Amino acid sequence: MTSLFDRHRAVLPEWLALYYRHPIEITHGEGRHVWDAEGNRYLDFFGGILTTMTAHALPEVTKAVSDQAERIIHSSTLYLNRPMVELAERIAHLSGIPDARVFFTTSGTEANDTALLLATAHRGSNQILAMRNSYHGRSFSAVGITGNHSWSPTSLSPLQTLYVHGGVRSRGPYAELSDRQFINACVADLEDLLGHTREVAALIAEPIQGVGGFTSPPDGLYAAFREVLDRHGILWISDEVQTGWGRTGDHFWGWQAHAENGPPDILTFAKGIGNGMSIGGVVASARVMNCLDANSISTFGGSPVTMAAGLANLSYLLEHDLQGNARRVGGLLIERLRAIGAQLPLVREVRGRGLMAGIELVKPGTDEAHPEAAAAVLEAAREGGLLIGKGGGHNTSVLRVAPPLSLTVAEAEEGAAILERALRGV
């Protein structure tokens, strides 16, 4: 019998990545656990790439989806859509952006693509500032602003992109500086860059770089950038696809760690809000959102079913204070991972915030990335019953840990123990 893996390879692109030497088919899940087609049970510390935000098979979400599907599944944005309006109202309020407007898409890639359209139309410029080591999606415009070359397959782009220092704290020319000196150096680099360019439309930045290996600047960097951007009339786009909805624990949005000068001009979101349903979106002030002078619709953005799921998921998140749980349990988990890493020459750094942790691996005795070790730990963790992710720079040598926000202390300890065995085994 032909295996599902063989069938996959026969009809899908070679560049469609799969984890593991022997890829697994996940058939169902519950809470923080999933099962594969062979009946193996795993503790899920990756959540479908930070997407299963609250829990697998959360009853409140599955009921909302079922109830809405029984009424109507699809209508498009050409008709009034009560669930879409209700979710937009809640997100507009939570965004912190004054006079906010919300446009729904089906993914984070599409959300960032829309943000770029808004920024370039509003400013009349196709120049974009992006961060080194960044990732913003797989569309033609999104890969054109992605600083992580492992995920940018072409240099062709409709945009002129200029890359700025600051997204990676512990590597690069400013790594040895204090936090304040680091921020000052990055701001000086930004000022110098703007002195050699024409009018720039926007800076797009992830508060914590996801695919880049959960790297981040010191708190306050983007607030310092904002002072420069405002002087030049440049918009700030905060890509919250991975950092939104309380995952960092300390804040509901990642931008709030850099909040001295208020919210971003444009905020993009996706992943966790749908808890597995395809929801992305853009929030901007009416002044920016309404700048387009042509008609537009979305066939699938704002689908009644996905909006119902988003409303139920957001309500559960807020009512059960999952942001607080991310802060408490995530803090314990990161502390435990740091204690493990301190004993292993393989581990260069454990970093992160809330339930968003990265473990960077290097060849012992060096500062050289060790992607082979990362791949081996990924395999060993799966064999031990734990699913994690990986990413980081050009060499994917960072283990990414991002469980659902309802993770318990016992599950955090269980996952850390499996990771410790995997790391020691490698």
For residues 52-70, give the mean pLDDT: 98
Determine the longest span between alpha carbons in the chain, in angstroms: 65
% residues pLDDT > 70 (the chain): 100
The rounded distance, in Å, linking the Cα atoms of 326 and 373 is 28
Residue 150's pLDDT is 81
pLDDT tens track for 360-380: 999 999 999 999 999 999 999
Q: Residue 348: its pLDDT value, please?
A: 97
pLDDT of residue 385: 98
For position 394, what pLDDT does the model report? Answer: 66
Alpha-carbon distance of 222 to 322, in angstroms, equals 26
Q: Name which residue leads in pLDDT, 263 or 153.
A: 263
* Domains, the chain, ordered by start: 4-57+322-425 (3.90.1150.10), 62-319 (3.40.640.10)
What's the pLDDT score for residue 395?
76
Lowest mean pLDDT among 121-130, 155-164, 361-370: 155-164
When mean pLDDT is compared across 75-79, 141-145, 152-156, the lowest value belongs to 152-156
Helix axes 371-383, 409-425, angle to 10 degrees: 130
Distance from C-alpha of 46 to C-alpha of 20, rounded to nearest angstrom: 14
Q: Which residue has the higher pLDDT, 423 or 146?
A: 423
Confidence of residue 108 (pLDDT cuts 50, 70, 90): very high
The span from the CA of 79 to the CA of 90, in Å, is 20
Tell me how far apart the alpha carbons of residues 214 and 154 are, in angstroms, rounded to a whole number: 24
Higher per-residue confidence, 393 vs 101: 101
